[in-house]
Amino acid sequence: MHDRVTVADAVIGWSESEQAVAREAFEQAYVRAIEQLIATIRARAGTLHSAETIWEFHDFLSIERHTIEGRFAFQFEGILFVFASLVKDGLLQLNELAGLDSEKLAKITAMSRF
């Protein structure tokens, strides 16, 4: 049987407390991304005036949905890159990752500047 403990134990190089920090930071960034998208939808909805602008709005939503669903499928593989991109995009602050070991934080910090 695969329970939560078994899965957690399988994450090499992440202590349990680091995993908790990562999940909470990830959830926080997700909430912010959704809040930003709702604000953008409301602003754009106010500017619609033709079929073409509706279809462009629909295309925008399709891309955002695809991007968000891909970006926020939580998994530890590659998560340092995801965190770096979230920091770069302002969806996460570095101090919200406090609790990760210094090597992980240094990698995220460095990559977030690219």
Contact positions vs a copy of itself (CB under 8 A): 30, 34, 37-38, 41-42, 45-46, 48-51, 54-55, 57-58, 61-62, 65, 68
Q: How far is the CB of 87 from a copy of itself (least distance, A)?
A: 21
How far apart are alpha carbons 97 and 92 in whole angstroms?
9
| Residue 1 vs 51, nearer CB to a copy of itself | 51
CB 40 to a copy of itself: min, Å: 10
Whole-number Å distance between alpha carbons of 75 and 62? 23
If the CB atoms of residues 10 and 48 are measured against a copy of itself, the closer one turns out to be: 48
- Distance from C-alpha of 15 to C-alpha of 28, rounded to nearest angstrom: 20
Helix locations, the chain, DSSP H: 4-9, 16-45, 51-71, 79-88, 102-111
User: Rg (Cα) of the chain, in Å, rounded?
Assistant: 17
In the complex with a copy of itself, the residue whose CB is nearer, 47 or 75, is 47
Shortest approach of a copy of itself to residue 45 CB, angstroms?
4
CA distance 51 to 96: 43
Write down the least CB distance from residue 46 to a copy of itself, Å: 7
